[in-house]
Amino acid sequence: MNEAGAWTEERVELLKKLWSDGLSASQIAAELGSVTRNAVIGKVHRLGLSGRAKNPAAASTPRAAAPRKAPTRSPSHPMGGPSSNPGAMTRGANALAPQYAPEPEAQAEPEPAPSEDVVIPFSERVTIMDLREYMCRWPMGDPTTAEFRFCGSRSQTGLPYCSYHSRIAYQPAADRRRDRSKVRA
């Protein structure tokens, strides 16, 4: 019986595997379960990993070398209350659920429409006024008309588009290992 929250050999190995595989800390945390992304990152650093695809010869990580600032941290954490809600503060780790949508093949729709404006809810579409940094900037319609909108869906980190439009924008012909199915007993 593996105690949840304990770094057993299995969990450490899985951690190494997933980390070297390119998965983010939150994804690994979600996959491992009972741990937050902070725990994963902390363990990664303790194991001497980190840097992931970094050359050991290079070293001199800008962040590590950077003196940063003097963090006069004030440990005032009144979070210790009788109402211990495990799902209250979990945001990042639980945001990515390990569950995946296995493409409902039951539907008689083998190939989705190649159109870029295929299935975009109107409620999601926004004008440039409502566009936020985290929103997808995929243009929809004629920019010269008042009907011009943006996708407005949640954009991927560091990307201007959402996951859906990112695939359209960048067609690498190769799938990322983000949504690869895991085979665990």
Partner DNA sequence: CCCTGATTCGC
Partner DNA sequence: GCGAATCAGG
Which residues in this chain contact DNA in the complex, by CB under 7 A?
A: 5, 7, 23-27, 35-39, 41-46, 50-51, 61, 63-64, 68-69, 71, 73-77, 79, 89, 91-92, 95-96, 132-134, 154, 157-158
Q: How far is the CB of 123 from DNA (least distance, A)?
A: 17
Q: How far is the CB of 167 from DNA (least distance, A)?
A: 18
Residue among 50 and 127 whose Cβ is closer to DNA: 50
- Which pairs from 115-120 meet CB under 8 Å and 24+ separation? 116/140, 116/165, 116/168, 120/151, 120/153
Residue among 76 and 123 whose Cβ is closer to DNA: 76
The angle, 0 to 180 degrees and rounded to 10, between the axes of the packed helices 9-20 and 25-32 is 150
Q: How far is the CB of 83 from DNA (least distance, A)?
A: 14
From CA 143, how far away is CA 131, in angstroms rounded? 15
Q: How far is the CB of 68 from DNA (least distance, A)?
A: 5
Residue among 117 and 134 whose Cβ is closer to DNA: 134
Q: What's the helix, strand, coil split of the chain in %, to 5?
A: 25, 5, 70
Give one word for 33, left, alpha or beta, with left for phi > 0 and alpha for psi -120 to 50. Answer: left
Q: Which tokens go with 174?
A: 């190769």
Residue among 35 and 120 whose Cβ is closer to DNA: 35
Q: Which residues contact 89 (CB under 8 A, 6 or more apart)?
A: 79
Q: How far is the CB of 164 from DNA (least distance, A)?
A: 16
Residue among 37 and 165 whose Cβ is closer to DNA: 37
- 11, 23, 157, 167 from 37: Cα distances, Å: 14, 11, 16, 26
